Amino acid sequence: MDTKLFVVNDINDEGDIKKIEECAGIIKNGGLVAFPTETVYGLGGNALDDKASMKIYSAKGRPSDNPLIVHIADMSELEPLVKEIPDIAKKLAKLYWPGPLTMIFKKSDLVPYKTTGGLDTVAVRMPSHKVAREFIRKSGLPIAAPSANVSGRPSPTTAKHVMDDLDGRIDAVIDGGQVDIGLESTIIDVSSDVPMLLRPGFITMEMLEEAAGDVERDPTLTKGVSKGLKPKAPGMMYRHYAPKGDMAIVEGAMEDVIARINHLAGEHNASETAVITTTDNKDKYTGCRVFCIGDRNDDETIAKELYAVLREMDDYSIKYIYVESFKNGKHGEAIMNRLVKAAGHKIIHV
């Protein structure tokens, strides 16, 4: 299959609108189009067509019991997809939609089980990215879209990442430049009495509690996954976001962290070893490749650059990766949730 690439910069430009319309046509005909959202690129298909959902699983190499998020552009599109809209969901939608928040509802009969991985609930999100909204509107359909990466790889934050993973496997990609946020949406389950955070993201626990009162955390977020403890979001089970190399997070007082990483790096070949660090520390490492993802005080940038840096580890065939901990900022929970998984839970305390 030939994957078409459409560069779209301006949804008010006639040429760009034509491109979006062509992509909307692909969706209406049962095809797959990757598109930018404010979080990460999504791989879109008609959410109401079980064949389109099957194509998504197959293009990503994703297990079909891992449900897809359904994307809408307007509040009126929510009602047909769900059994009920709890008051808490209305409040959250008012505050954070359109935006990087996904809510889990009891699904209506309209939504095929193939889209929800066999579950009686459906995940819905209204993205704020202008191109995404225009694309959904022009499609006239709710769009099922997981992150547009091959299953297990870091989520794509540029169209190039999407092409690297899915060229030849999908009909088209809309290139809207680098995304803003860089981590997937926050997921909150509003289908039972007490709302539960299933995946941390840009909308923090504090922001959710402000609107919804008490919010629980899925126990696996703090205790990890084990035989008796499974995450409510099936996708949180899988190894994720991971580069091929051996990765470890080094945590502790900064001087000790730097000393330990330099020591560990000294045990390996410099060209195959990397440290992921911030501007203030980047000149303190020797004997390895240094990847700087921004200023430690600016964790929005750290979030935005994280997946691109993880992908670079593979581009440079890095075998040993050491990364500083970023748990202290506003977005620390979301960043560390991804990093800890990417590192296969390997944390070195110094």
Query: Whole-angstrom Cα distance, residue 107 to residue 53?
Result: 16
- Beta strand pairing call for 186-189 and 172-175: unpaired
Instruction: Write out the residues near Mg ion by the rule CB under 5 A.
Output: 147
- Supply the minimum distance, in Å, between the C-beta of residue 217 and Mg ion: 20
- Supply the minimum distance, in Å, between the C-beta of residue 60 and ligand TXA: 8
- Supply the minimum distance, in Å, between the C-beta of residue 291 and ligand TXA: 24
* Token pair of 343 as six digits: 């590192």
Instruction: Determine the 3-state secondary structure of 270 from DSSP.
Output: helix
What is the amino acid identity at position 318? Answer: I
Residue keyed to tokens 């750290």: 302
308 binds ligand TXA (CB under 6 A): no
116 binds ligand TXA (CB under 6 A): yes
- Supply the minimum distance, in Å, between the C-beta of residue 56 and Mg ion: 11
Residue 159 CB partners (closer than 8 Å, separation 6+): 5, 7, 34, 36, 41, 173, 174, 175, 176, 177
Applying CB under 6 A, which of residues 3, 64, 66, 178 lies at the interface with ligand TXA? 66
| Of 4-12, 20-28, 65-73, 330-338: span binding ligand TXA (CB under 6 A) | 65-73
Applying CB under 6 A, which of residues 24, 33, 42, 157 lies at the interface with ligand TXA? 42
Q: Of ligand TXA, Mg ion, none, which one does residue 46 interact with (CB within 5 to 8 Å by kind)?
A: none
User: Between residues 101 and 211, which has the closer beta carbon with respect to Mg ion?
Assistant: 101
- Supply the minimum distance, in Å, between the C-beta of residue 151 and ligand TXA: 9
Judged by CB under 6 A, how many residues of this single chain contact ligand TXA? 28
Q: Of Mg ion, ligand TXA, none, which one does residue 200 interact with (CB within 5 to 8 Å by kind)?
A: none
Query: Whole-angstrom Cα distance, residue 233 to residue 315?
Result: 30
In DSSP notation, 189-233 reads: E-SSSS-EEEE--SS-HHHHHHHHS--EEPHHHHH--BTTB--SS
Binding site residues, ligand TXA, CB under 6 A: 37, 39-40, 42, 66-69, 102, 104, 116, 119, 121-123, 125, 145-147, 184-185, 187, 198, 232-236
